[in-house]
A = this chain, B = another copy of it.
């Protein structure tokens, strides 16, 4: 998907919500587990249908599928196909956090962009340029590089100071030079919203994928205050708060209500 189309969808829906599809069979409502062979896929379909009107992106985290082996991988493929067929205007992020030497990164890029038809994949930057660049060579596809994550361990390395600058800023600055605002985004955790000021000085125009609002304690208001740009420039991801809003027969309805609630809050940031 092009940047222009993503921005168009955001403005149309007055939403920059991304729904994280992290299906955990220990949390999926019992009646779904009893009803169907492919529990994960059925659960996802219902969540997708209920939340699609209020979000502009979906983000399956591949770990939650790989954990179930071949059948999990099938659920992931079916989920992505379902979204692409029924909601072709939604931006699809494979949250895989990959990154390897050049020829291996190319294999991953082909897997996620060509085979699975994802619009974007999340990338771990530790291995440097040749691990990131292969993901930038596909038309209208995106690499979303981990900048500053929302977890506690983000302080272990990402916030180390190098020549008066935190490593995550160095990572963002360096990676931004390998791509551009049409093929690269950054993951920036919402739990460190005030750090967005410095990030926005480095990359005023890039989109940021922001996890950590809700379950991990981040605030939508804070993120918007420091992170919005002229094109909105944010995709705020919520997973658990939405997909596990309920765990009975009406779980999808409750997920939709939760997504709408966030969408309603987001509408304030549009003229």
Nearest-neighbour CB distance to chain B for A120, whole angstroms, equals 16
Residues of A within 8 A of B (CB): 22, 24, 61, 63-64, 66-70, 72-74, 77, 97-102, 104-105, 107-108, 110-111, 115-116, 124-132, 146, 149-158, 160-162, 167, 170-171, 174
CA distance A170 to B162 in the complex (A): 12
Of the candidates B107, B146, B153, the one whose C-beta lies within 8 Å of that of A63 is B107
Shortest distance between the CB of A12 and any CB in chain B (Å): 31
A sample of 23 cross-chain residue pairs with beta-carbon separation below 8 angstroms, ordered by A number, consists of: A61-B100, A61-B104, A63-B104, A63-B105, A64-B104, A66-B108, A67-B110, A70-B73, A97-B100, A99-B124, A101-B150, A126-B126, A127-B149, A127-B153, A128-B153, A128-B154, A128-B155, A129-B152, A129-B156, A132-B153, A157-B167, A157-B174, A160-B170
Task: Determine whether the beta carbon of A69 is less than 8 Å from that of B63.
Answer: no
| Complex copy number for this chain | 2
Measured CB to CB, the closest approach of chain B to A216, in angstroms, equals 8
CA–CA, A157 and B172, complex, Å: 11
On whether the beta carbons of B107 and A129 are closer than 8 Å, the reply is no
| Interface contact B108-A67, CB-CB below 8 Å | yes
User: Can you name 15 extra interface pairs (CB under 8 A) apart from A69-B115, A124-B126, A132-B153?
Assistant: A63-B98, A63-B111, A68-B111, A73-B73, A97-B98, A125-B126, A125-B156, A126-B149, A126-B157, A126-B158, A127-B158, A128-B154, A128-B155, A160-B162, A167-B167
CA gap between A63 and B105 in the complex, in Å: 8
Given contacts A128-B153, A149-B127, contact A63 B108 (CB under 8 A): yes
Q: A67-B110, A126-B125 are in contact. Are A101 and B157 (CB under 8 A)?
A: no
Of B97, B101, B105, B160, the contact of A124 (CB 8 Å cutoff): B97
Residues of B within 8 A of A167 (CB): 157, 160, 162, 167
Contact of A128 among B61, B64, B152 (CB under 8 A): B152
Smallest Cβ-Cβ distance to A147: which chain B residue: B126
In the complex, A254→B228 CA distance in Å?
Answer: 59
A150 nearest in chain B by CB position = B101
User: Are A70 and B67 interface neighbours, CB within 8 A?
Assistant: no
Residues of B within 8 A of A102 (CB): 151
Distance (Å) between the CB of A188 and the closest chain B CB?
Answer: 13
The reply to whether B146 and A126 contact each other, CB–CB distance below 8 Å, is yes
Q: Are B74 and A70 in contact (CB under 8 A)?
A: yes
- On whether the beta carbons of A111 and B152 are closer than 8 Å, the reply is no
**Could you tell me the distance in whole angstroms from the C-beta of A170 to the nearest C-beta in chain B?**
7
